[in-house]
Amino acid sequence: MTQAKTYAFPNRNTPSDPVVIDPGVCSGCNMCVHVCVADLFIPNPDKGQPPIILYPEECWYEGSCVEHCPEPGAIELNHPLTQRVRWKRKATGEHFRV
């Protein structure tokens, strides 16, 4: 398998993607940048594009960015893999998780 280009990136901070932004829905209004408690976003230099998640590991996962987003579905919380709680359907015994 070949890639177009191989980059020399350091390891990313984890959790690396505390929120997921859908670029097809996000209007680039930067409301999430405005309300974030930890100020982990910066506006995208390209106006109208989704903000950049600069400090992902500072996320507190309280969801202000989701709550105040004017475009439903544009931004969603993405819990760390170590934080995925499980549940069981009572009638069938099937197991699920966040």
Partner 1 sequence: MNWNEYVKHNGVPEWPYPIRYEAESTVETDVLVLGGGIAGCWAAISAARRGVAVVMVEKGATITSGGGGNGCDHWINTPHPDSPITAEEVVEWELEYSGGYTNGISRYIAARESYETLLELEQMGAKIRDTEDEFIRAPFRDEKTKFLFAYDYKNRLHFRVWGSTFKTALYKTCKQLGVNRYDRIMATGLLTADGKIGNRVVGAVGFHTRTGEFFVFRAKAVIDCLSRHQRNWNFSLELKGVPTLRPPTIVGDGHAMAWRAGAEFTMMERSLPTSFGSGSGYPVYGHGNALNTWFPCNMVDAHGKKIPYVDRDGQILETEVERSLPAADQKFLGERTTAYTHKRPELIPDLEARVRNGEFALPLYADLPSMSAPERHAIWGLMVGEEGKTKIPIRNTYSAAGFDPNQDLLQSYMFLGGDPMRGSVRPQERTGGEVGDAGGLLVDWNLMSNLEGLYVAGDAIFAANYHYHAAATGRYAGRKAAEYADKVSRLALSRQQVSQEKARVYAPLNNGQEVEWKELNAAICKVMQNYCGEIKNEELLKIGLIWLDDLKRNEAPRVQVDNPHKLMRTLEVFNILTCCEMIMHASRARKASTPLLGFFRQDYPEIDPPEWQKWVTIRLEAGGVKTATLSLDFWSPMAENYEKHKS
Residue numbers at the binding site for partner 1 (CB under 8 A): 7, 9, 12-17, 21, 23, 34-39, 42-45, 49-58, 60-64, 66-68, 76-77, 79-80, 82-83, 85-91, 96-98
d(CA 72, CA 56): 21
Read off the tokens for 78.
Answer: 């993405």
**Which residues make Cβ contacts (< 8 Å) with residue 93, sequence separation at least 6?**
none
Q: Which is nearer to partner 1, 25 or 37 (CB)?
A: 37
Provide the minimum distance between the beta carbon of 86 and partner 1 in the complex, in angstroms, as a whole number: 5
Provide the minimum distance between the beta carbon of 49 and partner 1 in the complex, in angstroms, as a whole number: 7
Entry field: residues in the chain:
98
d(CA 67, CA 51): 16
Provide the minimum distance between the beta carbon of 98 and partner 1 in the complex, in angstroms, as a whole number: 5
- Tracing tokens 């929120």 back to the chain, one arrives at 19
Q: Which is nearer to partner 1, 1 or 95 (CB)?
A: 95
